[in-house]
A and B are shown apart, each in its own frame.
Chain A
Amino acid sequence: MSKLFIVWGTVVCMWLAYANYTGWSLFGEAGSAHKGSQGTGRMYHK
Chain B
Amino acid sequence: MKLSCPSCGADVEFKSKASVFGVCPFCSSTLVRHDINLETLGKMAELPPDVSPLQVGTRGRYENSSFEIVGRLKVKWAEGSWNEWFALLDDGTQGWLGEFQGFYTMSFQVEDSSGVPPVDSLKPGVKVTVGKSQYQVDDIREIVCQGSEGELPFRAVKGRKSVSVDLGGQGETFASMDCSDDEGVLLYVGRYVDFDKFKFQALREIDGW
A contacts B directly in the complex (CB < 8 Å)? no
Interfacial residues, chain A to chain B (CB-CB below 8 A): none
